[in-house]
């Protein structure tokens, strides 16, 4: 679920497109490393998409020949996943399971090469237990691709949009929530996420903002001008390499592996 500053549909979709492209670019090296380290199974990686929803990423990964297991508590999301996988002709490589991280261990016949956990840690009851369950099923050399909503990025986004009271609430609430109606149970600070990963026995390979700056740029300015849109993509690509800009990113992507593995 994008943490955006505006409910306007066209704004969400432009940002979603930028974000999806960025996530694709980040998941690719995660998969490549896992395949290099584990060799996969007959050349195919086992990918688990925890909270994978309707299969935005998992169906694409199945199209690339990987075996994908989606674990999600929502029957509607799993029905949409099933439909999408059939339409893409990859139903035999995509398995949906209704549940959460607790069920992972009993569900899988072989160690996981890549586990995606995108926009899910904000929704689970116990993020520490979830990451421990994730670490437990990752095989040696396996990788975690974790996408989290970042508190400081949510504050910057709301402040830049003039939603000052909300920005203050997210900044000062112990869980980084905008209020009781906030659909997210928490927005983590980067340090808190790093601690959770370490305690779960996961070592961070890389962390980057997704997107770093694009969510802060008013789309009313960028949308009508293809050259500006292209410039924004270049700005985003350049900003990825600047760790000091990471604090304003609405989301962070963490690539982690089993510590010592």
> Judged by CB under 6 A, which of 74, 105, 165, 179 binds ligand SAM?
74
Asked if residue 235 lies in contact with residue 187, where contact means CB atoms within 8 angstroms, the answer is no
Give Cα separations from 173 to 96, 129, 167, 220 (angstroms): 35, 22, 10, 31
How many Å apart are CA 14 and CA 100, to the nearest integer?
30
Longest dimension (CA), the chain: 54
Point out the residue whose Cβ comes nearest to ligand SAM.
51
CB of 183 to ligand SAM, least distance (A): 9
Least separation, in Å, of the C-beta of 225 and ligand SAM?
A: 28
Please count the residues of this chain forming the interface with ligand SAM, following the rule CB under 6 A: 17
Cα(113)–Cα(139) distance, integer angstroms: 6
Given candidates 94, 115, 124, 157, which one binds ligand SAM under the rule CB under 6 A?
A: 124
Sequence-ordered list of residues with C-beta below 8 angstroms from that of 127, at least 6 positions apart, any chain: 121, 186, 188, 196
CB neighbours of 253 closer than 8 A, spacing ≥ 6? 22, 23, 26, 145, 146, 147, 207, 208, 209, 210
Q: What would the two tokens of residue 82 be?
A: 């099933």
Q: Using the rule CB under 6 A, is 176 a contact of ligand SAM?
A: no
Tell me which stretch binds ligand SAM (CB under 6 A): 114-122, 168-176, 201-209, 226-234.
114-122
Judged by CB under 6 A, which of 85, 114, 115, 120 binds ligand SAM? 120
Which CB sits closer to ligand SAM, 44 or 102? Answer: 102
Closer to ligand SAM at the Cβ: 123 or 132?
123
In whole angstroms, how close is the CB of 231 to ligand SAM at the nearest point? Answer: 27
226-245 residues in contact with ligand SAM (CB under 6 A) are none
| Paired strand residues for 44 | 41
Residues contributing to the site for ligand SAM (CB under 6 A): 1, 50-53, 56, 72-74, 77, 100-101, 118-120, 123-124
């Amino acid at each position: 679920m994008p943490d955006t500053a505006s409910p306007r549909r066209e704004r969400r979709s432009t940002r979603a497109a930028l974000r999806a492209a960025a996530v694709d670019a980040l998941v690719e090296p995660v998969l490549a490393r896992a395949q290099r380290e584990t060799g996969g199974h007959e050349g195919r990686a086992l990918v688990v998409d925890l909270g994978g929803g309707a299969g935005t990423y998992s169906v694409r990964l199945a199209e690339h020949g990987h075996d994908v297991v989606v674990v999600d508590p929502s029957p509607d999301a799993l029905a949409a996943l099933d439909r999408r996988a059939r339409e893409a002709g990859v139903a035999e490589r995509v398995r949906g399971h209704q549940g959460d991280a607790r069920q992972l261990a009993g569900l899988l016949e072989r160690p996981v090469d890549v586990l995606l956990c995108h926009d899910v840690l904000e929704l689970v009851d116990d993020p520490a237990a979830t990451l421990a369950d994730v670490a437990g099923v990752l095989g040696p050399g396996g990788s975690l691709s974790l996408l989290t909503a970042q508190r400081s990025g949510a504050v910057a986004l709301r402040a830049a949009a003039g939603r000052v009271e909300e920005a203050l609430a997210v900044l000062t609430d112990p869980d980084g929530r905008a209020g009781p109606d906030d659909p997210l149970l928490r927005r983590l600070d980067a340090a808190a996420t790093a601690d959770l990963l370490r305690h779960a026995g996961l070592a961070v390979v890389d962390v980057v903002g997704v997107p770093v700056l694009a969510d802060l740029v008013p789309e009313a300015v960028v949308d009508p001008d293809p050259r500006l849109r292209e410039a924004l993509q270049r700005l985003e690509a350049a900003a990825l390499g600047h760790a000091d800009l990471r604090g304003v990113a609405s989301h962070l992507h963490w690539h982690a592996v089993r510590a010592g593995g």
